[in-house]
Structure 1
Amino acid sequence: MMSTIKFPFYIRLTFMVISMIGITYILYMGKSVLIPILMAFMIAVLILPIVDFLNSKLRLPNGLSATIAIILFLTVIIGILAFLSYEISDIGKDFAVIRKNINIFIIDIQHYIRSNFNISLWDQRKYIEDVTQDSFKKGKETIGTTLLSFANAILDLTLIPIYTFLILLYRTHFMVFLAKLFKKEYHTKLQEILRQIKGSIQSYISGLIFEMIAVSILTSIGLFFIGVKYFILLGIITGILNLIPYLGILIAGVLTVLSSLTGTPEVSLIVGVIVVNVFVQLIDNNILVPLIINTKVKINAFVSIIGIIIGGQIGGIAGMFLAIPVLAIIKIVFDKIDTAEPWGYLMGDNLPKAFKWRTNKSLQ
């Protein structure tokens, strides 16, 4: 008869820390393989209701149901990309106007700096030339890396649909495998963990899609009222880039400012674009995220920020995007394991109103 060995707290804590370091190292070393699989897993969980509907209601085979669901998903993505490409081509026609307005805007800024900070135009131009030359030298050094990263991204985009199909096709096989890993008395808890993971990921991704749509609409309305020409396109781009934590909205803001120069180089329009982006972000961070995202994933802000930073260090933008759902899965597992439950509580956002230490008065 097997007996359970209970280790002291410091040994269990050491094992936990070593395990976390080991998992992080494995993720970093295998990121080129694991990140596409994780992305495919997220997509598979998202479209799983469609597959189940085609299986149960229309009585289609599992493979055919998965194929149809993936084709529908890819059709939506390709449709969005086609619309964006068509609209971006219109902006390309105004490139000469944008370049002219950028030059006018830069000249106005230079005159403002000369008038208020007593820095001559020659000194400003010399500084810009020096910075440009340094950037050009560094850019030449990173061209090979950029091309390699682009090639890897194309490869990932090809593999993700394949991985998604295989995950959907063999999902029952994987569940049987998990069931074989644990004794029968733990199957109920395992089923609960899998159910919560599926529900959490589906809710989180659907919440992100709703947030993306809301940010796109709000930004488009704001840009329309201040007179930006391509307000719909820029609103959609802002909503999509907003999915990338921290960096996305900055990139969207720069693109919006540049695109706004198709109409006029006036500083007032650029200020209006910045005000619209800041206002939408205030609504997003204080209303949409707490109501849509935080209610779906019970992860506190401190752990979320750390997870996003670590995810960015491991896998770049994709790692930042995957950080929150991965943390949600880890928290669900921790909550269901007695020895790891304190770590799950640490990751949660349910703050107690007050806390009092429970001490044994007989020891005093």
Structure 2
Amino acid sequence: MVKGKQIVFRGAAVILGMYFLVLGIVKAKPLLAPLATAILLAMLMIPVARKMESWKINRVVTSLLNVFFLFLISLGFAALIGMQIQNFVADWDKAEEKIMPKIEQLKDYIFEKTPLKKEQLSLKPGDTKVGEHAIDFANGIYNFTGNYLITLIYTFFLLNYRQKFKNFFIRLFKDEDKDEVEKTLQQTSGVTQKYLVGKFLLMIFLAVLYAIGMGVTGVNNFIVISLLAALLSIIPYIGNIIAFFIAIGLGYLSGGDTTALIGIIVTFGVAQFIESYLLEPYVVGDNVNLDPLITILAVIVGSLLWGIIGMIIAVPILGMVNVVFKHVQALKPYHYLLSNNADENKDG
């Protein structure tokens, strides 16, 4: 009886602790999300910083240059996508004439085949509040800009003081464990670097493949679709699905014909085949070494906790955690659970 009570109390304590932990992570998003992103960016730029420091350049200067380089890359992507979106908006009147009949057809089909009624989805006059939407949009831009700048600032300090942080982690452990701790830190950083660099190269390849396939088949707005689809590929599995529906919306519904629809379907099918079986195994490889199911769960949990940024950083962060599990004896069962041990899993 006493043992049963202990199990109940411990189980309740674990559930309660997990609840407050998750709640704390969600509430701390304004602090933790930029910091986690900055950690990944700093790890990505460490090889570049080391190379520059080997040229006898001061560490403060190299850190500033690396942050400036990241700023230029992000600014270039934003400008390129912004120009393409501007062109799309300029042609919106023509696109709207072609989109609305197709949307009405889709709505009629839904009302005919499902229990939904038009009255349930119709908006009453005055329901749309333009002023509130404008304020929300302005707040969103303000928050994004603030998080973007603070992320770059965090990245600078993490690069500049990386040796101090490394020494701090090493000093947390006994002298006989310091070599293992240093090895773990190096592998953790290496996993992140290889994954992010591989994903970046993969996005470039996919953008070119999408642009060629959709451009040849006459898909409207194929440049902006290709860029958005390539950027979304950083979200494993789910990003490609979102990109496909964006391509349907921007490329087919906005004025395309059946040829454009077929071009989108074929382009994405071929691109996903090349990505999954040719590019990803060689460009990204098994650097993160996570089970596919665990990867999908990580993306979903990241989305629930921190939204889009959570979906993007969930996989590399879990990959880093998995490296730590690998080097801690008591946590090795969790490493086995998270890892993609294909050969070992065949026994069951």
The two structures have a TM-score, normalised by structure 2, of: 0.83
Paired amino acid for 1:78: L
> Take 1:353 and 1:213, find their aligned partners in 2: how far apart are those partners?
34
Kindly report which structure 2 residues correspond to 1:65-214, keeping only aligned pairs within 5 A, or say none.
Answer: 65-106=62-103, 109=105, 127=118, 131-133=121-123, 137=127, 143=133, 148-214=139-205
1:265 to partner: Cα distance: 4.5
1:88 to partner: Cα distance: 2.3
> Take 1:151 and 1:141, find their aligned partners in 2: how far apart are those partners?
17
> Take 2:128 and 2:329, find their aligned partners in 1: how far apart are those partners?
52
Residue 330 of structure 1 pairs with residue 330 of structure 2: no
Maintained 8 Å contact 2:219/2:263: no
Query: How many residues end up aligned between the 2 structures?
Result: 335
1:173 to partner: Cα distance: 1.3
Kindly report which structure 2 residues correspond to 1:199-278, keeping only aligned pairs within 5 A, or say none.
Answer: 199-260=190-251, 264-278=255-269
> Take 1:312 and 1:106, find their aligned partners in 2: how far apart are those partners?
28
Paired amino acid for 1:39: T
Paired amino acid for 1:259: L
What secondary structure is seen at the aligned counterpart in 1 of 2:287? coil
1:192 to partner: Cα distance: 0.5
What secondary structure is seen at the aligned counterpart in 2 of 1:296? coil
Q: For the pair shown, which has the larger CA radius of gyration, 1 or 2? A: 1
Task: List alignment gaps of at least 5 residues for structure 2.
Answer: 1-6
Task: List alignment gaps of at least 5 residues for structure 1.
Answer: 1-9, 357-364
Residue 37 of structure 1 pairs with residue 35 of structure 2: yes
1:86 to partner: Cα distance: 2.0
Aligned partner of 2:291 in structure 1 is 300
> Take 1:130 and 1:141, find their aligned partners in 2: how far apart are those partners?
25
Percent sequence identity is 23
Aligned partner of 1:359 in structure 2 is none
1:305 to partner: Cα distance: 1.7
Aligned partner of 2:56 in structure 1 is 59
Maintained 8 Å contact 2:294/2:338: yes
Deviation track 1:50-90 (CA, whole Å, cap 9, x = no partner) reads: 1111111x211111110011111211221222122222222
RMSD of Structure 2 on Structure 1 (CA): 3.5
> Take 2:50 and 2:261, find their aligned partners in 1: how far apart are those partners?
49
The two structures have a TM-score, normalised by structure 1, of: 0.79
> Take 1:131 and 1:296, find their aligned partners in 2: how far apart are those partners?
47
What secondary structure is seen at the aligned counterpart in 2 of 1:333? helix
> Take 1:151 and 1:247, find their aligned partners in 2: how far apart are those partners?
27
Paired amino acid for 2:41: I
Maintained 8 Å contact 1:94/1:262: no
> Take 1:268 and 1:111, find their aligned partners in 2: how far apart are those partners?
23
